[in-house]
Amino acid sequence: MRTLIVVDVQNDFMPGGALAVPGGDGVIEPLNRAMGRFDLVVATQDWHPPDHVSFASNHKGKEPFDIIDLHGKEQTLWPDHCVQGSQGAELHAGLEEARIEAVFRKGMDREIDSYSALYDNAHLKTTGLAGYLREKGSRELYLGGLAGDFCVYFTIKDALGEGFAVTVIEDAVRAIDDEAYGKLKQELQDKGVRFVLSGEL
């Protein structure tokens, strides 16, 4: 029983999008090819209200990529992105949606960001994904998508914390900051996360 989690493959994270991840559209082909090799495919969708706390536009005098203190925790401020119901929030049309059994949305609470697909950033609320996966019999999770240094990374950390075995499909991930992602990758490897290429699946 192998499960593929397709993380935030949404228009706003594509080149030209509101929060473009360099080479973001490069994940689509390896993900589509990988889907056929899995028993279960689920996707996640960043899904913010327009007044979301992570948007720089909702903080007077702040710019995108500024870092603020939010309830004692660091919060990076982003350009408005993945606004509920917008074109930018849609999953990329090139993704083989027919194979995606469920889509888990996150970041809907205006008060708190949610990089991980399992919990919000303060670990106060679950999205239900971990319970869904357990009920489906999933133990081994494979991940690809965007962005490697944010939502993919934090989803992996939470998945490890929930006892899942995690493998990253390397060529199906792109990061906002490659240098930061390189360090995070090392940390994940040290925690037992495997990195494979889609051709090896």
Window 42-81: contact mask with ligand VGL (x via CB under 6 A): ----x-------------------------------x---
SS3 92: coil
Q: Is there a catalytic annotation at residue 191?
A: no
Does the protein bind ligand VGL through residue 8 (CB under 6 A)? Answer: yes
Read off φ and ψ for residue 194, nearest 5 degrees: -95, 150
* Exposure string for 82-96, b = 16+ CB within 10 A, e = fewer: bbeebebbebbeebe
Q: Is there a catalytic annotation at residue 157?
A: no
Catalytic residue among 25, 46, 82, 151: 151
Question: CB pairs under 8 A, 24+ apart, for 162-167?
Answer: 162/118, 162/130, 164/130, 164/133, 164/138, 164/139, 164/140, 165/139, 165/140, 165/141, 165/192, 166/141, 166/142, 166/192, 166/193, 166/194, 167/140, 167/141, 167/142, 167/143, 167/193, 167/194, 167/195, 167/196
Complex with ligand VGL: residue 49 or 136, whichever CB lies closer = 49
Does the protein bind Zn ion through residue 158 (CB under 5 A)? Answer: no
Q: Is there a catalytic annotation at residue 8?
A: yes
CA distance 118 to 90: 20
Complex with ligand VGL: residue 125 or 134, whichever CB lies closer = 125
Q: Which part of the chain contacts Zn ion (CB under 5 A), choosing from 45-53, 123-131, 153-161, 186-194?
A: 45-53
Q: Which residues between 123 and 162 bind ligand VGL (CB under 6 A)?
A: 146-147, 150-151
Does the protein bind Zn ion through residue 46 (CB under 5 A)? Answer: yes
Does the protein bind Zn ion through residue 149 (CB under 5 A)? Answer: no
Least distance to Zn ion from the beta carbon of 78, Å? 6
Catalytic residues: 8, 106, 151
Binding site for ligand VGL (CB under 6 A): 8, 46, 78, 115, 146-147, 150-151
Binding site for Zn ion (CB under 5 A): 46
